[in-house]
Amino acid sequence: MTIPTHTALAPEPPAPRCGERPTEPKSALFVAALGFAQFGLFVALLGPVIVSMALKVNTILATPTERTSALGVILGVGAVAAFVGNALFGRLSDRTTSRYGRRRPWMVGGVAVLTLALWFIATADSVPALAAGWFVAQLGANATLASFIATLADQLPERQYAKVSAMVGIMQNVGILGASQIAAQFTSDMLALFLVPAAVGVVGILAYAAVLKDPVLQTRPGRLDLHTLASSFWVNPFTHRDFGLAWWSRFLIILSSFLFSTFRLNFLVDRVGLTDARAAGAIATGILIYTAVLVVSGWVAGVISDRTGKRKMLVASSTALFALGVAVLAHTHTLSGFYLVEAIMGVAYGIYMSVDMALVLEVLPNPEDSGKDLGVFNMANAIPQSAAPFLGSVLLGVGAASTAGGSSSPNYTLMLWAAAIAALIGALVVLPIRKVK
């Protein structure tokens, strides 16, 4: 895979001043460091969401319904922290006057907090402790993530939007693959299960922080009063209609995705009949399939989008394809069927993640508040992460069938059909956007 930018040995163009849109393409060294940081952060952050937290909960609770209920609560509580933290830390990073730049202090400090919280989770022995630890972990992770994502708007020229967004999305999903592989290796070692991914995240963020030319905010912002703080969580969807539509499209596909991924291990245990260890291995294989096709579809879509300037139809069609994959999963009872669905979803999400961020960068309301506006947009990631575990727990309990042992079998069909419908609506919502072709 090649990225048509400057060579790694070419001098990095000077960083634009705060609020200026860049015009010079970033070097291959910068893009590589950016991708590695994305990889490391998502290894650390999504390992617990994919497998590790479910395995941890399974060491504390016994029955399937207790486990899915507790997992939904824990991940939902953490996603509330993500909802608050992403927009708040995005706003704070916009206003930071540190001599180390606006974004770098929050990236480094956040990943340190995330690491400490993951250590606490690994040693916790109760559901309330896991929920508290995951809440703090999400605060740290979103301090890092909000400032990290803001650097895309700070640093990239428009002609690199889709290609670099494709690379960032690919590395996010390679990070998810890495997290699943680590989880498959350490299913019985809780410290390694949580802290090995954390170490990868620390290295990735520190490497990017070293390369990043983070401009220093020269003018001290006004006082951070209650009104300014509250505005961190709001962009008027009527004044900025295209931004609002893009927000809802992202919200719906992330809701669909997390309804599936939050309970994926339990799905394989309860419906396909695998043990915990075999289910963790199957998830690792499924994510490998997903990532392999995602890399190809994502890179091709990114190149096509930047060359043609077209974003909207690629986003809408890929979201509809994702909905189809989730609907197929609702009627799947075999491991081979699960792997087929992973392939369908990989193609769909590869196209989506490579083009959607490029679309979003084009409809941001204000370049000077890119951290705040992207923080508001990332609430479309955080809110469904909060809603999905709670909603999934409710849907799984509707009409749950009793088994021979007296326990109940969660209603995966209902939950997955709800996820498919959410993704399909997300495909339709993006079509009225006017500013982007």
Q: Is residue 17 part of a domain?
A: no
Global pTM exceeds 0.85 = no
Out of 29-33, 150-154, 272-276, 412-416, which region has the weakest mean confidence (pLDDT)?
A: 150-154
Our count of domains for the chain comes to 1
Model pLDDT for residues 197-231, shown as the tens digit of each residue: 999 999 999 999 998 887 777 777 666 666 665 66
Phi (first) and psi of residue 234, to 5 degrees: -150, 135
To the nearest whole percent, how much of the chain has pLDDT over 90? Answer: 24
d(CA 90, CA 324): 34
For residue 265, what pLDDT is reported? 83
- Do the domain assignments include residue 66? yes
Take residue 409 and report the two structure tokens written for it: 């079998």
86-134, pLDDT tens digit by residue? 778 877 887 788 888 888 999 999 999 999 999 999 999 899 999 999 9
Is 21 a domain residue?
no
Query: Does residue 7 sit within a domain?
Result: no
Residue 221 is assigned to a structural domain of this protein: no
- pLDDT tens per residue across span 288-319: 898 889 888 888 888 888 777 778 888 899 99
393: tokens are 């727990």
- The answer to whether residue 424 is domain-embedded is yes
Tokens of 208: 């990017």
List the Cα angle 389/393/399 in 5-degree steps.
155
First to last CA, the chain: 26
Question: Comparing C-alpha atoms, which of 373, 387, 395 is closest to residue 91?
Answer: 373
Q: How confident is the model at residue 6 (pLDDT cuts 50, 70, 90)?
A: very low
Q: Which domain holds residue 112?
A: 28-214+237-400+409-429
Residue 373: inside a domain: yes
76 vs 368, more confident: 76
- Inform me whether the pLDDT recorded for 144 exceeds 60: yes
Domain CATH for 111: 1.20.1250.20
Rounded CA-CA distance 47/52 in Å is 6
Give 27's DSSP letter.
B
Residue 254 falls within a domain, yes or no?
Answer: yes
